[in-house]
């Protein structure tokens, strides 16, 4: 009997049902690697954190009834005003410590690619963040998480359209 291997691309994402009502207890987040090809050059959309102002990608907590990639796309809209073509294929994971109520909470972020088609002027967190389109080398230098830097450096947009 021949067993067929299942790859991530073949698995259909299902909406999440949260069993825990205290979202602070969940240490998994979903992020969107927002990108575009502008004048033949690959660019990434980075945003600042609300607290420290460091450069990051849009990310947030799981959402009840939403797929992981769908939650990442929602964060891209709320935090950066970005909408576009979403892929449900995980690019990779990165870890960071989230400051929450004076505590440091370790988090792991699953990253999904989002090819940006529109960037709104007005979006929910427009007055709380800056956003900037930058090339691959600059984006990798601007983020502090080594795994996120590696995801940016190795990203190939031809695999996600």
What are the pLDDT tens digits along the chain (161 aa)? 454 443 444 445 556 555 555 544 448 999 999 999 999 999 999 999 998 899 999 999 999 999 999 999 999 999 999 999 999 999 999 998 887 677 778 889 999 999 999 999 999 999 999 999 999 999 999 999 999 999 999 999 998 86
pTM of the model: 0.83
| Start-to-end Cα distance in the chain | 35
The CATH homologous superfamily to which domain 26-159 belongs is Nucleoside Triphosphate Pyrophosphohydrolase (3.90.79.10)
**C-alpha pair distances (Å), 97 with each of 82, 100, 109, 113:** 25, 9, 11, 22
- Are residues 115 and 35 in contact, defined by beta-carbon separation less than 8 angstroms? yes
Domain ranges of the chain: 26-159
Q: Which residues contact 64 (CB under 8 A, 6 or more apart)?
A: 16, 17, 18
């Amino acid at each position: 009997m021949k067993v067929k291997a299942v790859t991530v691309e073949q698995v259909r994402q299902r909406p999440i049902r949260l069993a825990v009502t205290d979202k602070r207890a969940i240490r998994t987040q979903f992020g969107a690697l927002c990108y575009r090809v502008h004048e033949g050059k690959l660019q990434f959309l980075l945003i600042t954190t609300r607290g420290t102002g460091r450069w990051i990608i849009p990310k947030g907590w799981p959402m009840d009834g939403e797929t992981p990639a769908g939650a990442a796309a929602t964060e891209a809209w709320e935090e950066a005003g970005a909408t576009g073509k979403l892929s449900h294929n995980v690019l990779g994971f990165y870890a960071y410590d989230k400051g929450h109520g004076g505590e440091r909470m370790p988090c792991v972020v699953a990253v999904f690619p989002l090819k940006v088609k529109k960037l709104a002027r007005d979006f929910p967190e427009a007055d709380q963040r800056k956003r900037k389109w930058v090339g691959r080398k600059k984006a990798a230098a601007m983020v502090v998480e080594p795994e996120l830097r590696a995801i940016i450096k190795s990203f190939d947009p031809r695999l996600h359209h």
